[in-house]
Chains A and B, each alone.
Chain A
Amino acid sequence: MRILLVEDNADHTELMCRALTEYDLTWQVDRAVSGEEALCRLAEDEAYDLVFLDYSLPGRNGLEVLEEIRRGEAPPPVVVVTGRGDERVAVEAMKGGAYDYVVKDQGYLQRLPVVARRAVEAYRLAAERKRAEEELQKSEERFRNLADLLPQTVFEMDERGNLTFVNRQGFEAFGYTKEDFAKGLNALQTIAPQDRDRAAGNILRRLSGEELGANEYTALRKDGSTFPVSLYSNRIIHENKPVGLRGIIIDITERKRVEEEIRSLARFPSENPNPVLRLNQDGLVLYANDASQALLRDWGCVVGSYAPVFWRDLVTEALTSRSTKTVDIQYGEQVCSFFVAPITDAGYVNLYGRDITERKRVEEALRRSEERYRRLFECAREAIIISDPDGRVIDANPAAATMLGRQRRQDMLGRRSVDVYANPEQRAAIFAELSAKGYAENFEVELIKQDGSGQHIFALGSSVLHKDEQGQILCAEAMLTDITERRRAEEALCRRAEEMAALMEMNRAITEDIDLKETLDRILSSAGKLIPVSDCSVTLVDESSGDLVVQASTDGEIGVRLSPAVSSGVGWVVKTKQILAEEDAPTNPIFDQQLVQRYNIKSALIVPIIYKDKAIGTLGFSDCHARRVFSDSEKMMAQALAYQAAIAIQNARLFEQVCAGRERLQTLSRRLVEAQETERRQVARELHDEIGQLLTGLKLTLEMSTRLPADAVRASLGEAQALVNELIERVDELSLNLRPAMLDDLGLLPALLWHFERYTVQTHVRVTLKYIGLEGRRLPSEVETAAYRIVQEALTNVARHAGVSEVTVRVWTGQDTLSVQIEDQGIGFDPEVALAAGTSTGLAGMRERAVLLGGKLTIESAPGAGTCLTAELPLTGRLERREEERRG
């Protein structure tokens, strides 16, 4: 042992040195008289085991030197030597790193070697411990580094189960972070609840030193999931006391599976229903059980021959890698999963087959079913939408995209399905049913199209919730059928029914009412209900002018005459007999723009009123508030209304005609009675004034002659004869005036000729007769009579009014008509005025005669332009009736 003694007092140094060396002769004591010298010596020679340092040194004091020494590399222990009673300094020195101190009191020289030996001893122990600790530290680090590299979880815990160390794999396997660990984590927290009691028991048993081997637990991850583990642990012994456990945790999920597999393989090979084979490293088949025969056949080999190349390679690979492997092989109808287990030491490989044909079949069936579902999903006409519990779309088929107006189904994913419901209450009701029953069937739902059109669609849907084993909702699947069209059809049907009802109502009104004005008003009232517009009106073609006259209107003027020219809307409709529907009337030149402006028409719908293939007018709808489109059904309605209107109008017209006809008949018969009376008066006067006078004269003459002498009688009789001749002439004329017998005896032509003769004599108007087709032909007497009377009347008019000296009469027969025409070049007249004036000209009478026979009278005349009357009288109808009468 080498001791450095630092002391400036030589006496002390001598004494101390002697005391030490006397105690142990092996001790070598060097001397230093100052701090500097001591430091130099220590710097030069590191081998001192102890330093005695006098506190009161010259120059640098003891504490400073102590500090200096301690700063050195591996400094020896220092014992400070101080003067007597200087305890305070001693404390300072201990603080400064001195190992011990010695006070220079009486007897200190004896104590000195003990102090020296103890200091050196303690110092060595401390150094050894320190070294050991450093070793431990290093060992610990190596352990941790190693532990982190391990693919298994490595842990340490104290005796209470608190984890003191977990390797990196441990954090990964259990999902905890360093922070979680820093907060404190108990081992039992990582064990599934069902295994905790067993684990706690095992920890205690292990700490008490019981050997347990591996224990299997269900480990619990931070996220709640579990996995099977196998746990090995050792006690951590500190100072002969167990302070905790250190262990390793192996995830045995795979092993479990393999074990499961092995279990099935572990039967005695010959009894194993699955193939079990053993191949040597060259691929030679060493053994094969009975169940392997099919496989061997497939391989084309037997026990004792070589397996196919594929299997030889597999064997080589397994032996080389020393790892097991699983391969699925199909042979024949069978599918086998082979567990390849290399037995490296023995240099062969065992093959454990397991028939997985059924599993494969099920898997295949599942895959097909999955495919089928997918295909169904992709191709279904129904929309299928799958959404997560938050109502976000997870998947949707193309039909769903189409139905909801999305371009691609991808556009739907992730969107909230709540947005497509048009009606939140409807959605709430469906979801209530869904959560109550787990499904909802045949609900009708109104959805909003997602293409921005805002269009609503109606769908018939069914929905079902999918849940996992724990009852958590995984997703909701909804299947929707678009029934918008059906709904529309139903609505249209309802509307049709309403329309039908309205039409029926109108029909009843029409058949009940035959006043045209009232009927038209009723039609318009019905029309207004069916096709809401600001104005509907009926125009009818005026037979004489061809103009279209507004006959009824809900909101416009009545009696307005519209041009029949094709350029006006109504005219076009009448002309073409087609519907005219215009959303924007002011831009369509087909409309009379003056009218459009005057009535501020925006949109218009005009349908022709057609009767017997002839457009007799129009039914019009116009809107002056806003532009509107007339739907197809409205057009059809309008046509139906127009059809009803046509019937109504025709009914009303017929009724009017009947009324007018009856009135004319009454007028005519009154006139006929008057004419008859007039004629009778004339005949009576004629008989009295003319015939009567002559007869009286004759009577007197004859009476006188009886009283006359015989010779005078002859003269008197001569006189009487003259009277008789005159009588005959007068009666003849009277008869002819009443009705020319010639008309009955000889027919129209002789009667006319005779009449013209007398007419010319009386009026000095020359008559030119032209005729054709009358020669030798007799016509129905009423036709001849009518023709004769018309000519007679017309000629009378000519003589009275025309102011001409000649007139032409034309008579001709057509296929089934007799026509007479009386034409003059006289002053003419306005036919309308003349007809309206009444009976004075006899025009009405002539017309009546023609009309009564089913014919007509045409009057062409204008003031200053002469007159041409043409009467056309049909022959056929009457002739047929005559034939019937004759037969009857």
Chain B
Amino acid sequence: MISIVLADDHPIVRQGLRALLQAEPDFRIVGEADDGLAAAQLVERLQPDVLVLDLMMPGLDGLAVTRQVSQRAPHTRVVILSMYANEAYVLEALRAGAVAYVLKASNSAELVRAVHEVTAGRRYLSPPLSERAIEAYLEKAEAAALDPYETLTAREREVLHLAAEGRTNAEIARRLTISPRTVEMHRSSLMRKLGLRSQADLIRYALRRGIIE
């Protein structure tokens, strides 16, 4: 028998889910909760095999409940039910400790299948979600690391280079034929963007980046 706790704040949805899951002979609903906090406490007390959890819950949201459960009931497998077919959510849920992500819009048989899969020690994502899509998403999100230097405008870069050589605002102004005030503006802007506090910081940054030798 697989012991299940059901957590959803909508009674109708819970009722529908209960009917669906009880129809399975080896499933047993051991508890139900209508908010996140209650769900976490219930799971901690009952230590069920599976927690079927709505992602959007009042009190603690689904992700928070998942994180708590994965700490306090490490044996309980968390199956997330969600309206959102977005990889970001999936990724976030998986990172929180969920092992299955089932879309509410999907076929009801998928939930049963997911429970079976997770008790068998596998992960389950309802279509069109897939491990590959998650990876692609991860790639997309992580490959885009920003070099703060990119955020500098062309002018700011010129100012940075000249300032790194130790030139004063007045000299830079003459060189770029702009007013010293404007130079000062660019200088403070670029230092903010690069997280630099002082002229020394600026020179250290320039050396590290090979702007000056």
Residues of A within 8 A of B (CB): 545-546, 564, 725, 728-729, 732, 741-742, 745-746, 749-751, 753-754, 768-772, 810-812, 814-815, 817, 819, 821, 858, 860, 868, 870, 872
B56 contacts chain A at the CB level, 8 A cutoff: yes
B144 contacts A768, C-beta separation under 8 Å = yes
7 A-B pairs with the lowest CB-CB distances in the bound complex, closest first: A750-B88, A770-B146, A546-B181, A772-B146, A546-B179, A728-B105, A769-B144
B89 contacts A819, C-beta separation under 8 Å = no
Give the number of residue pairs across the A-B interface with Cβ within 8 Å: 81
The proximity string for B residues 129-141 relative to A, scoring 1 for CB distances below 8 Å and 0 otherwise, is 0000000010011
**A872–B195 CA distance with the chains assembled, in angstroms:** 13
Query: CB-CB < 8 A to A750: which residues of B?
Result: 86, 88-89, 91-92, 141
Known contacts being A742-B88, A814-B192, A819-B151, is A729 close to B182, with CB within 8 Å?
no
B88 contacts A732, C-beta separation under 8 Å = no
B205 contacts chain A at the CB level, 8 A cutoff: no
**A872–B148 CA distance with the chains assembled, in angstroms:** 13
Task: Tell me which of B91, B137, B193 contacts A819 (CB under 8 A).
Answer: B193
Query: CB-CB < 8 A to B56: which residues of A?
Result: 741, 745
B84 contacts chain A at the CB level, 8 A cutoff: yes
A746 contacts B195, C-beta separation under 8 Å = no
Given contacts A545-B179, A745-B61, 16 further A-B contacts (CB under 8 A): A564-B181, A729-B105, A745-B56, A753-B88, A753-B137, A753-B141, A770-B146, A771-B145, A772-B145, A772-B146, A772-B147, A772-B148, A812-B151, A812-B193, A814-B193, A868-B153
B63 contacts chain A at the CB level, 8 A cutoff: yes
B104 contacts chain A at the CB level, 8 A cutoff: yes
**A507–B119 CA distance with the chains assembled, in angstroms:** 82
Query: CB-CB < 8 A to B24: which residues of A?
Result: none
Cβ distance B128 to chain A, nearest Cβ, rounded Å: 12
**A377–B137 CA distance with the chains assembled, in angstroms:** 108
**A868–B153 CA distance with the chains assembled, in angstroms:** 8
**A728–B85 CA distance with the chains assembled, in angstroms:** 12
A812 contacts B141, C-beta separation under 8 Å = no
Query: CB-CB < 8 A to B26: which residues of A?
Result: none
The proximity string for B residues 61-80 relative to A, scoring 1 for CB distances below 8 Å and 0 otherwise, is 10100000000000000000
Cβ distance B87 to chain A, nearest Cβ, rounded Å: 8
Known contacts being A771-B145, A819-B193, is A742 close to B179, with CB within 8 Å?
no
B83 contacts A728, C-beta separation under 8 Å = yes
B150 contacts chain A at the CB level, 8 A cutoff: yes
A742 contacts B181, C-beta separation under 8 Å = no
**A811–B151 CA distance with the chains assembled, in angstroms:** 9
B63 contacts A770, C-beta separation under 8 Å = no
Task: Tell me which of B63, B150, B181 contacts A745 (CB under 8 A).
Answer: B63
Cβ distance B109 to chain A, nearest Cβ, rounded Å: 12
A812 contacts B144, C-beta separation under 8 Å = no
Cβ distance B36 to chain A, nearest Cβ, rounded Å: 12
A770 contacts B89, C-beta separation under 8 Å = no
B195 contacts A860, C-beta separation under 8 Å = no
Query: CB-CB < 8 A to B41: which residues of A?
Result: none
Cβ distance B81 to chain A, nearest Cβ, rounded Å: 12
Task: Tell me which of A741, A811, A858 contacts B146 (CB under 8 A).
Answer: A811
Known contacts being A770-B146, A810-B151, A819-B193, is A728 close to B86, with CB within 8 Å?
no
B189 contacts chain A at the CB level, 8 A cutoff: yes
Query: CB-CB < 8 A to B148: which residues of A?
Result: 772, 812
A746 contacts B89, C-beta separation under 8 Å = yes
